[in-house]
Structure 1
Amino acid sequence: MAKEQVYINLETKYSVDLNAHVYVKDIGEVYCNNDTVKKNVENIRVYNGISQEAYDYISGTEITTKVLDSIDNIDITIIGGPDVLLEIKGQEDSKSILNILKLALVMIVLFFGAAVAIINFHEDVDMKSSMEKVYYTITGVKNKDPLILTIPLSLGIGLGMFAFFSRIFSFSKRRRQEPGPMELELFLYDRDLEDNVLNELKDKKKSE
């Protein structure tokens, strides 16, 4: 009798609650012509839940071994990543007062930090004198406080930063769907963090 061919497309990362078990269907997609075999593979437990927050991982080899121990007469091919990083964490309350205070504190620090940086830059390049010269060049009148130039400049700095980090002002629908610079940086940071954590877990497991 020919063996059933099973393909498992693994995810690179999976977040799991405390004390929650992980099954094949949680960490990947199973492909098989036999629906019964497919469901049986999906419902195989590959990781036992733990009661404390931590990072862990499960390799494609471990998944293959657990599936073959549970189901006979099948061939398994793992596609996708060779390992799945598991993030075990408790449920977070996004509306808690502590999270709101953290968000407010970060916003205040960023606002005043950006303001001080812009002020210091303008002082270094003597922006006040530059604005006076520009105003005199345009109007022929000397004015030590040309608000008609400094106010639009201040608004333009904020709008320019917003336009740079956002795609709202783009007329192209495709461009509006593209990630902004900040989103790309966060994506790269998360990917590097996951790779680093996974490598440390592997090194720790090898040394045990």
Structure 2
Amino acid sequence: MLYIRLRHRLLVDPAHPIKLKDIAELIGEVEIVHALQDIIIYEISKKDKTHVVLDIMFVLDAIKKHVPHVECNVIGPTQTLVEINVRKKKINPFFLIVTWLLLFVGAGLAIIYFHEDVSMQQVHQRIYYMITGEVKEKPLVFQIPYSIGLGVGMILFFNHVFQKRINEEPSPLEVEMFQYQQSLDQYVIHHDEKEQQKDIDRS
């Protein structure tokens, strides 16, 4: 008896042959696990580009070739998405600076437009008048702490100070990126299934 649980996702280098222990956790008799964990399931080729989807049927077939009489029980996901770590080109410093400036200016303008829409300066003036009874065009006693609080609030919201995480709780941006990655993985798997179906229809 052998219990198999495929990993949901795997990142490998193009030259790395994918072994069973890379894509699955195995539980069973020690001799069988040792005999199977180092078998090569798949070898990356140029036609694979950036992603490969390994199905449980493909894995079971490879296991049966090495240990024909083993009984396999599959637990968890039935597919592993293998992402090929393609070497990316170095980023041009000029484009990095231009992109950073565009994002910085765009974010600044977005904040300015928001405060203009809600008439934030008039709100500060009104609060200052209600507390002190004086009319002041630039109530810095409110505007300066508010500006500092805006920056601190953004840091707390994204849960990062440069590369350092404030606490272990994921930020909303990390949660959105996680959901995006899950949707992307599901699309790649679904697209692979459609391509396989087309190949079957052609044959």
TM bucket by the smaller chain?
Answer: 0.7 to 0.9
Indicate if the aligned counterparts of 1:11 and 1:84 stay in contact, CA closer than 8 A.
yes
CA offsets 1:135-173 (integer angstroms, 9 cap, x no match): 1221222211111211111111111122223299xxxxx
* Matched residue type, 2:150: I
CA RMSD, Structure 1 to Structure 2 (Å):
2.4
Range 193-202 or range 74-83, more displaced: 74-83
Call closer, same or farther: CA 1:77–1:105 in 2, change over 3 Å: farther
* Matched residue type, 2:134: V
Call closer, same or farther: CA 1:11–1:100 in 2, change over 3 Å: farther
Q: CA deviation at 1:23?
A: 0.8
> Residue in 1 aligned with 2:114?
121
Which of 159, 162, 173 is equivalent to 1:182?
173
> Residue in 1 aligned with 2:164?
none
Unaligned runs of 5+ in 2: 162-166
Indicate if the aligned counterparts of 1:19 and 1:51 stay in contact, CA closer than 8 A.
no
Q: Give the TM-score normalised by structure 2.
A: 0.85
> Residue in 2 aligned with 1:63?
59
Indicate if the aligned counterparts of 2:55 and 2:79 stay in contact, CA closer than 8 A.
yes
C-alpha distance in 1 between matches for 2:64 and 2:151: 59
Unaligned runs of 5+ in 1: 169-175
Q: Give the TM-score normalised by structure 1.
A: 0.83
Give the secondary structure class of the aligned counterpart of 2:129.
helix
> Residue in 2 aligned with 1:136?
129
Do structure 1's residue 37 and structure 2's residue 28 form an aligned pair? Answer: no
* Matched residue type, 1:204: E
Q: CA deviation at 1:114?
A: 2.0
Give the secondary structure class of the aligned counterpart of 1:80.
coil
Indicate if the aligned counterparts of 1:10 and 1:81 stay in contact, CA closer than 8 A.
yes
C-alpha distance in 2 between matches for 1:146 and 1:43: 70
Do structure 1's residue 110 and structure 2's residue 103 form an aligned pair? Answer: yes
Question: How many corresponding residue pairs?
Answer: 194
C-alpha distance in 1 between matches for 2:79 and 2:23: 10
C-alpha distance in 2 between matches for 1:39 and 1:66: 15
Which of 175, 192, 196 is equivalent to 2:187?
196
Do structure 1's residue 153 and structure 2's residue 149 form an aligned pair? Answer: no
Give the secondary structure class of the aligned counterpart of 1:74.
coil
C-alpha distance in 2 between matches for 1:68 and 1:23: 15
CA offsets 1:186-205 (integer angstroms, 9 cap, x no match): 11111111001110011011
